[in-house]
Structure 1
Amino acid sequence: MKTNVRFIVSRAAFYLFTAWAAITINFFLPRMMKGDPVTAYMQKNAGQITPEAERALRILFGLDQNTSLWQQYLDYWGLLFSGDLGRSFSNGLAPVADVIASALPWTLGLVGFATILSFLLGTAAGALIGWRRGSRADVIVPISTFFSTVPYFWLGLIAIAVFSSVLGWFPASHAYDKGARPAFTFDFVAQVIAHGTLPALTIIVASLGGWILGMRNMMLTVLDEDYVTVAQAKGMPNDRVLWRYAARNAMLPQLSSFALSLGFIVGGTIVMEMVFSYPGVGKLLLDATTAKDYPLMQGLFLIITLAVLLANILADIAHAVLDPRTRQTEA
């Protein structure tokens, strides 16, 4: 019991410090860059901004030159605790939280589903291939690895050329048909599924090889362990030895990679969203960078950072559940 408490306290302290450091860097980084959002906004609207309006904008963006940097930092924390991420001047001064919220479901739905499905399929396939080492199933490894080495944008363009332009099975771009209005109806959901199929399949095909190869290699190592040999000598069913003993321990290193993948789901796959013109967070980040919309960039970096931290917390919990030795070592 004491070991579990020490483990929880130590990990909580580590992640709280990491979150503070990430948020602090997120505050100072835009202020270290050349220019600021108010200057960029004034250049975009030359001659239309009065000095009084500029002063109001600087106060709005937390860049008041009459306020010390330390006070700006404290004000930034106050805004964060109130859920205010600032205003996006590239979206008509709309709240950054609202802009991100409009793009986040598309990324979570598409990239999240594809990443989780790729992990499950790749881990299961890698476990089976490793269990049946030396069989014909080994041919899957070089084939899947080959697709993982193909540049992602090229794989996406090939998918569009074959399945959209030639066969006409799926739409080539966007999240739904032009002119359609988002609504929770059967027709609109069908459009979303049709538009999301190609980019989802591209993500799965591109990432499947890494999961298969990693799990297969770990299975080859685990199968030589004594506890697997003893379990087989006791006459346990092969399925139980495979999934409860071998695969359970072999997948522990996979969890760390999967946690990072889950964290970066929020960031989206920028190249994928560019190729398929998908309205997700990745494309939003690219547009914000192009427009030098620092508040929106800052909000996106913060959300991505917190998502990665949360994913790592979940990975730590999974490690502790699957391998009790982790709790003892950390404590």
Structure 2
Amino acid sequence: MYFVRRIGFFLLTLWGAVTLNFFIPRISGGDPAAIMAQKIAGQGEQVSQAQIDAIRAMIGAPDTSLWEQYRAYLVNTLHGDFGVSMSYFPYTVSHMIGEALWWTVVLVGVTLVLSFVIGTLLGTWVAWRRGSTFDSVMTVGASFLGTLPFFWVALLIIWVLAYTLGWFPATGGYSGFVEPALTPEFLADAAYYFVLPALAIMVTGPIGWMLGMRNNMVQSLGEDYARFGRAKGLSNRVLALHYGARVAILPNITGLAMALGALMGGTVLVEQIFQYPGMGRLLFDAVGNHDYALSQTIFLFIATGVLVANLVADMLYGILDPRARRKEAA
């Protein structure tokens, strides 16, 4: 029953997300066809209604009722047809997302997994030595780093490693001298441009995982079952790993699943600062240009990813923690 309810809640929430994703851009105001016509004509030039209508016809903007558009949107979404991007006309939305998605998957996926592993291991170690000087230094230092503005950290990294030392390029995803393809030359070139944005994320990335793991583990080690294990004469190592970390890591697993689900949206700030060709930069351009088709498709990918990740986390909770199933049954 626990798993059936979770799947039903997932399907209902997914429908709600798809519906909101359709209506929100259309009630936010602005005419994408008029914006596109103004760009073509040039700043300060007058644009006639006939030109706007021609742009609307060219991009296939619907002139039917909102309800009919909604029905067509649901059908097209089920068939994977997301329309044409107004910002990157005549390319389709699927083409633009297909180009940007892998850049974000590599950048955000790699840094997220590394942040989770490093932060969780550090949090476990700090909690094991709770109350020590090491605990105080790590906790205070992590809290201080977490207060630094992210854009300031990114700009400092660019200034030191790109402009002052000249070790890495300041912006971009690849040099342009190598044709994008799965070749050793291109992968090496892309990895060279990958270092700075990844480093900017990794400076603060593990902090939340570390502090969360440390606090959860300290709390779990104070529970009755941990005291009972200590009274039985179990070593601190066994208590820390089997009684503390095993329980404390559950919230971190949920957080990781949610973060992986939101991976589709990329990191707008990082990709803007480093001009990295990922989903975050694509989303920024789409919203700024009132590109309904592109922006709502990216939002749909983000919402679906988060919901799927949340469903997976719920399933893992039901498997790893029997108390969740018993509570649901009660």
TM-score under structure 2 length normalisation: 0.91
Is the partner of 1:325 in helix, strand or coil? helix
Unaligned runs of 5+ in 1: 1-5
Q: Which residue of 2 aligns with 1:71?
A: 68
Within 2, Cα distance between the matches of 1:125 and 1:322? 23
Q: Which residue of 2 aligns with 1:33?
A: 28
Is the partner of 1:94 in helix, strand or coil? coil
- 1:148, 1:208 within 8 Å by CA — same for their partners in 2? no
Measured against aligned partners, the alpha-carbon deviations of 1:156-190 in whole angstroms (never above 9, x if no partner) come to 01111122222333222111113321122222212
Q: Which residue of 1 aligns with 2:7?
A: 12
Measured against aligned partners, the alpha-carbon deviations of 1:84-118 in whole angstroms (never above 9, x if no partner) come to 01110211231111111110110110011101110
The reply on whether 1:87 has 2:81 as its aligned counterpart is: no
1:189 maps to amino acid: L
> After superposition, where does 1:144-155 map in structure 2 within 5 Å?
144-155=142-153
Identity %: 44
Shift of the alpha carbon at 1:51?
Answer: 8.0
Within 2, Cα distance between the matches of 1:133 and 1:214? 14
The reply on whether 1:292 has 2:293 as its aligned counterpart is: no
1:78 maps to amino acid: V
Q: Which residue of 2 aligns with 1:56?
A: 57
- 1:144, 1:205 within 8 Å by CA — same for their partners in 2? no
Shift of the alpha carbon at 1:305?
Answer: 0.8
The reply on whether 1:109 has 2:80 as its aligned counterpart is: no
Within 1, Cα distance between the matches of 2:212 and 2:138? 13
- 2:82, 2:93 within 8 Å by CA — same for their partners in 1? yes
Within 1, Cα distance between the matches of 2:211 and 2:226? 21
TM-score under structure 1 length normalisation: 0.90
- 2:18, 2:300 within 8 Å by CA — same for their partners in 1? yes
Shift of the alpha carbon at 1:267?
Answer: 0.9
Check 1:137–1:299 CA distance in 2 against 1; reply closer, same or farther (3 A cut). same
Is the partner of 1:146 in helix, strand or coil? helix
1:56 maps to amino acid: A
Within 2, Cα distance between the matches of 1:68 and 1:134? 65
- 2:36, 2:55 within 8 Å by CA — same for their partners in 1? no
Q: Which residue of 1 aligns with 2:19?
A: 24
Q: Which residue of 2 aligns with 1:123?
A: 120
Check 1:149–1:55 CA distance in 2 against 1; reply closer, same or farther (3 A cut). closer
Unaligned runs of 5+ in 2: 42-46
- 2:2, 2:318 within 8 Å by CA — same for their partners in 1? no
Q: Which runs of 4+ in 1 moved over 6 A?
A: none
Shift of the alpha carbon at 1:236?
Answer: 4.1
Q: Which residue of 2 aligns with 1:204?
A: 202
